[in-house]
Amino acid sequence: MIPSAFPDKTEIARLTARMLLEIKAVHFNAEEPFTLASGLPSPTYIDCRKLISFPRIRSTLMDFLAVTVMRDAGFEAFTNVAGGETAGIPFGALMAERLALPMTYVRKKPKGYGRNARIEGVMGEGDRVLLVEDLTTDGGSKLSFVDAIRETGATCAHTAVIFYYGIFPETVKTLGDHGVTLHHLCTWADVLTEAREQSAFDTATLDEVAAFLLDPRDWQAAHK
């Protein structure tokens, strides 16, 4: 069934943050920071892949994401949904089901044999593709997927994620300069607000996370 009526964006953000905290997908550790893919330290880490193991939460969030995309981009904006390898593949499949559209997925690089393809499934000239992933930090990793989609003759002007860091100001510009609009459910600010409401972590940890979110580059420089 295609969802059409759900809470406003503020409530969706709050509920999404609550669900991520409930399944312990959110990790805060200021004393022993995590290392991001960029190699930089962070007192925050989120594991959206855990969502696939929680059917009720998974289903609700996919409904939220589907209605967010339809409200913001249009109800007939897409003809194809593509998941990005690897974390985006299950969420791409779930979104395609909700939007009643064909599903494809995009490899990070050609598989190196056979057709040497980056696109799996049927996609081609004239398709309007929604790229789905679990999260985005600075938006950079999405560009390669978008380019691979466009090489088929399809267009890709939108990407949808469950979680958007929301702390790096260049993200929206990076995607926008590439002709891509970002849709998301919640950010670190939403998670921090809900974590304080629930007292999910001690006050000192939450305060350190708040300092990181306020100026992540300075925080990282001080904690290298």
What pLDDT, in 10s, does the model give residues 161-212?
999 999 988 899 999 999 999 999 999 999 999 999 999 999 999 999 999 9
Task: Please check the confidence at residue 4 and state whether its pLDDT lies above 80.
Answer: no
CB 122 within 8 A of CB 149: no
Asked if the structure places residue 104 within a domain, the reply is: yes
Which ranges in the chain belong to alpha helices (H)?
9-22, 55-73, 88-99, 140-150, 170-177, 188-198, 203-214, 216-222
Mean pLDDT over all residues of the chain?
94
Asked if the structure places residue 82 within a domain, the reply is: yes
Asked if the structure places residue 224 within a domain, the reply is: no
> What is the rounded CA–CA span in Å between residue 188 and residue 174?
19
Confidence (pLDDT) at 88: 97
Percentage of the chain exceeding pLDDT 70: 97
What pLDDT, in 10s, does the model give residues 44-53?
999 999 999 9
Asked if the structure places residue 203 within a domain, the reply is: yes
Task: Please check the confidence at residue 110 and state whether its pLDDT lies above 90.
Answer: no
Q: How does residue 5 score in pLDDT terms, banded at 50, 70 and 90?
A: confident
Structure tokens belonging to residue 64:
């939220």
Scan for tokens 């001080």, then name that residue. Answer: 222
The total domain count for the chain is 1
DSSP state of 107: -
Task: Please check the confidence at residue 112 and state whether its pLDDT lies above 70.
Answer: no
What pLDDT, in 10s, does the model give residues 79-103?
999 999 999 999 999 999 999 999 9
Report, as an integer, the average pLDDT of 18-26. 98
**CATH code of the domain containing 205:** 3.40.50.2020
- Residues pairing with 41 in the sheet: 35
Enclosing domain of residue 169: 9-212
Q: Which residues contact 64 (CB under 8 A, 6 or more apart)?
A: 6, 12, 15, 16, 185
